[in-house]
Amino acid sequence: MPARSVQLRRFFHVLRTEGAGLRRETAAVAFGVFIGCLPLYGLHLAICWVVGSLLGLNRLKIYFVANLSNPLVAPWLVFASLQVGSWVRRGSFHPVTREHIASTGISVFGIDALVGSLFVGTALAFLAAWGTYSLLRGSDDDRPFLELVRRASDRYVRDERDRVGVRARQVVDGSDLPRDAVA
Protein backbone atom coordinates (compact mmCIF):
# COMPACT_ATOMS: atom_id res chain seq x y z
CA MET A 1 0.00 0.00 0.00
CA PRO A 2 2.74 2.56 0.77
CA ALA A 3 4.22 1.94 -2.67
CA ARG A 4 0.92 2.96 -4.28
CA SER A 5 0.72 6.16 -2.27
CA VAL A 6 4.27 7.03 -3.33
CA GLN A 7 3.39 6.36 -6.96
CA LEU A 8 0.24 8.43 -6.65
CA ARG A 9 2.13 11.33 -5.08
CA ARG A 10 4.75 11.17 -7.84
CA PHE A 11 2.02 11.09 -10.48
CA PHE A 12 0.32 14.19 -9.07
CA HIS A 13 3.67 15.91 -8.66
CA VAL A 14 4.46 15.27 -12.33
CA LEU A 15 1.03 16.53 -13.39
CA ARG A 16 1.42 19.63 -11.26
CA THR A 17 4.95 20.54 -12.33
CA GLU A 18 5.24 19.36 -15.94
CA GLY A 19 5.66 21.92 -18.67
CA ALA A 20 6.99 24.68 -16.44
CA GLY A 21 8.47 27.81 -17.95
CA LEU A 22 7.20 30.93 -19.61
CA ARG A 23 6.91 29.56 -23.15
CA ARG A 24 5.40 26.24 -22.17
CA GLU A 25 2.85 27.78 -19.82
CA THR A 26 1.86 30.29 -22.50
CA ALA A 27 1.50 27.47 -25.04
CA ALA A 28 -0.55 25.39 -22.57
CA VAL A 29 -3.02 28.24 -22.08
CA ALA A 30 -3.24 28.90 -25.83
CA PHE A 31 -3.86 25.23 -26.67
CA GLY A 32 -6.38 24.97 -23.83
CA VAL A 33 -8.39 27.89 -25.16
CA PHE A 34 -8.27 26.52 -28.70
CA ILE A 35 -9.39 23.06 -27.59
CA GLY A 36 -12.11 24.58 -25.41
CA CYS A 37 -13.55 26.34 -28.46
CA LEU A 38 -13.89 23.12 -30.46
CA PRO A 39 -17.46 21.75 -30.56
CA LEU A 40 -16.23 18.26 -29.67
CA TYR A 41 -17.90 18.10 -26.28
CA GLY A 42 -16.96 15.04 -24.29
CA LEU A 43 -13.61 14.74 -26.06
CA HIS A 44 -11.87 17.75 -24.54
CA LEU A 45 -10.14 15.73 -21.81
CA ALA A 46 -8.74 13.20 -24.27
CA ILE A 47 -7.62 15.91 -26.69
CA CYS A 48 -5.95 17.88 -23.88
CA TRP A 49 -4.19 14.78 -22.60
CA VAL A 50 -2.84 13.85 -26.06
CA VAL A 51 -1.77 17.39 -26.98
CA GLY A 52 -0.10 17.92 -23.59
CA SER A 53 1.74 14.60 -23.81
CA LEU A 54 2.91 15.14 -27.38
CA LEU A 55 4.09 18.71 -26.84
CA GLY A 56 5.40 18.36 -23.28
CA LEU A 57 2.91 20.86 -21.87
CA ASN A 58 1.07 20.83 -18.56
CA ARG A 59 -1.96 18.59 -19.20
CA LEU A 60 -3.89 19.83 -16.17
CA LYS A 61 -3.40 23.44 -17.17
CA ILE A 62 -4.56 22.73 -20.72
CA TYR A 63 -7.68 20.95 -19.48
CA PHE A 64 -8.43 23.62 -16.88
CA VAL A 65 -8.29 26.33 -19.53
CA ALA A 66 -10.25 24.18 -22.02
CA ASN A 67 -13.18 24.33 -19.63
CA LEU A 68 -13.97 27.82 -20.86
CA SER A 69 -16.84 26.14 -22.69
CA ASN A 70 -18.83 25.99 -19.47
CA PRO A 71 -22.62 26.55 -19.30
CA LEU A 72 -22.20 30.31 -18.92
CA VAL A 73 -19.85 30.81 -21.85
CA ALA A 74 -20.75 27.93 -24.20
CA PRO A 75 -23.92 29.49 -25.69
CA TRP A 76 -22.00 32.61 -26.71
CA LEU A 77 -19.10 30.53 -27.98
CA VAL A 78 -21.37 28.32 -30.09
CA PHE A 79 -23.25 31.33 -31.45
CA ALA A 80 -19.98 33.08 -32.40
CA SER A 81 -18.66 29.89 -34.00
CA LEU A 82 -21.87 29.38 -36.00
CA GLN A 83 -21.89 32.95 -37.29
CA VAL A 84 -18.17 33.04 -38.11
CA GLY A 85 -18.41 29.64 -39.82
CA SER A 86 -21.38 30.82 -41.86
CA TRP A 87 -19.57 34.00 -42.84
CA VAL A 88 -16.40 32.10 -43.83
CA ARG A 89 -18.29 29.45 -45.84
CA ARG A 90 -20.99 31.57 -47.53
CA GLY A 91 -20.11 35.21 -46.92
CA SER A 92 -23.24 35.89 -44.84
CA PHE A 93 -24.42 35.37 -41.30
CA HIS A 94 -27.25 33.09 -40.22
CA PRO A 95 -30.46 35.03 -39.60
CA VAL A 96 -31.60 34.52 -36.02
CA THR A 97 -35.18 33.53 -36.74
CA ARG A 98 -37.24 30.43 -36.00
CA GLU A 99 -37.99 29.92 -39.68
CA HIS A 100 -34.32 29.90 -40.65
CA ILE A 101 -33.39 27.55 -37.83
CA ALA A 102 -36.24 25.16 -38.74
CA SER A 103 -35.47 25.21 -42.48
CA THR A 104 -31.71 24.81 -42.21
CA GLY A 105 -30.31 21.31 -41.88
CA ILE A 106 -28.39 20.22 -38.82
CA SER A 107 -25.37 19.36 -40.96
CA VAL A 108 -25.11 22.99 -42.12
CA PHE A 109 -25.08 24.18 -38.52
CA GLY A 110 -22.60 21.46 -37.55
CA ILE A 111 -20.13 22.28 -40.31
CA ASP A 112 -20.52 26.02 -39.68
CA ALA A 113 -19.86 25.48 -35.97
CA LEU A 114 -16.77 23.37 -36.67
CA VAL A 115 -15.30 25.78 -39.23
CA GLY A 116 -16.16 28.80 -37.12
CA SER A 117 -14.69 27.26 -33.98
CA LEU A 118 -11.32 26.94 -35.74
CA PHE A 119 -11.28 30.67 -36.43
CA VAL A 120 -12.79 31.75 -33.10
CA GLY A 121 -10.50 29.34 -31.23
CA THR A 122 -7.41 30.61 -33.01
CA ALA A 123 -8.29 34.25 -32.31
CA LEU A 124 -9.07 33.59 -28.63
CA ALA A 125 -5.94 31.41 -28.29
CA PHE A 126 -3.75 34.24 -29.56
CA LEU A 127 -5.39 36.67 -27.13
CA ALA A 128 -4.97 34.24 -24.23
CA ALA A 129 -1.35 33.56 -25.17
CA TRP A 130 -0.60 37.27 -25.35
CA GLY A 131 -2.25 37.87 -21.96
CA THR A 132 -0.51 34.93 -20.34
CA TYR A 133 2.87 35.91 -21.73
CA SER A 134 2.38 39.51 -20.61
CA LEU A 135 1.47 38.44 -17.08
CA LEU A 136 4.18 35.81 -16.66
CA ARG A 137 7.17 37.49 -18.25
CA GLY A 138 7.59 39.81 -15.32
CA SER A 139 9.18 43.20 -15.23
CA ASP A 140 12.42 44.83 -14.17
CA ASP A 141 11.01 45.00 -10.63
CA ASP A 142 11.08 41.16 -10.49
CA ARG A 143 14.82 40.82 -11.19
CA PRO A 144 16.01 41.17 -7.57
CA PHE A 145 13.44 38.62 -6.43
CA LEU A 146 14.37 36.19 -9.22
CA GLU A 147 18.05 36.54 -8.31
CA LEU A 148 17.20 35.78 -4.68
CA VAL A 149 15.26 32.67 -5.74
CA ARG A 150 18.14 31.53 -7.94
CA ARG A 151 20.67 31.91 -5.11
CA ALA A 152 18.39 30.11 -2.66
CA SER A 153 17.79 27.20 -5.03
CA ASP A 154 21.49 26.92 -5.87
CA ARG A 155 22.20 26.05 -2.24
CA TYR A 156 20.18 22.86 -2.59
CA VAL A 157 21.89 21.66 -5.73
CA ARG A 158 24.43 18.96 -4.89
CA ASP A 159 27.33 19.80 -7.18
CA GLU A 160 28.33 22.00 -10.08
CA ARG A 161 27.02 19.55 -12.73
CA ASP A 162 23.54 19.75 -11.19
CA ARG A 163 23.77 23.53 -10.99
CA VAL A 164 24.71 23.71 -14.70
CA GLY A 165 21.82 21.38 -15.53
CA VAL A 166 19.36 23.48 -13.55
CA ARG A 167 20.58 26.68 -15.23
CA ALA A 168 20.33 25.00 -18.66
CA ARG A 169 16.72 24.01 -17.93
CA GLN A 170 15.97 27.57 -16.85
CA VAL A 171 17.35 28.86 -20.16
CA VAL A 172 15.30 26.34 -22.17
CA ASP A 173 12.13 27.13 -20.22
CA GLY A 174 12.64 30.86 -20.69
CA SER A 175 13.05 31.60 -17.00
CA ASP A 176 16.72 32.55 -17.27
CA LEU A 177 17.85 35.89 -15.93
CA PRO A 178 19.81 38.29 -18.08
CA ARG A 179 23.58 38.11 -17.61
CA ASP A 180 23.76 41.49 -15.88
CA ALA A 181 21.32 40.31 -13.16
CA VAL A 182 23.45 37.30 -12.22
CA ALA A 183 26.12 38.00 -9.63
Residues with Cβ within 8 Å of residue 71, at least 6 apart in sequence: none
Whether residue 66 contacts residue 33, with contact meaning beta carbons closer than 8 Å, is answered with: yes
Residue 102 has pLDDT above 80, yes or no: yes
Select from 29, 27, 110, 41 the least CA-distant residue to 70.
41
What is the predicted pLDDT for the residue at 50? Answer: 96
What is the predicted pLDDT for the residue at 105? Answer: 87
Residue 179 has pLDDT above 50, yes or no: no
What is the predicted pLDDT for the residue at 76? Answer: 94
Burial class (CB in 10 A: 0-12, 13-18, 19+), 75: exposed
Domain locations along the chain = 2-136, 140-181
Residue 127 has pLDDT above 80, yes or no: yes
Dihedral sign (CA 100, 104, 110, 112): negative
What is the predicted pLDDT for the residue at 49? Answer: 94
CA 45, CA 35: separation in Å to the nearest integer? Answer: 9
Kindly calculate the radius of gyration of the chain based on its CA atoms and give it in whole angstroms: 22
Range in 21-35, 98-112, 168-182 the model is least confident about: 168-182
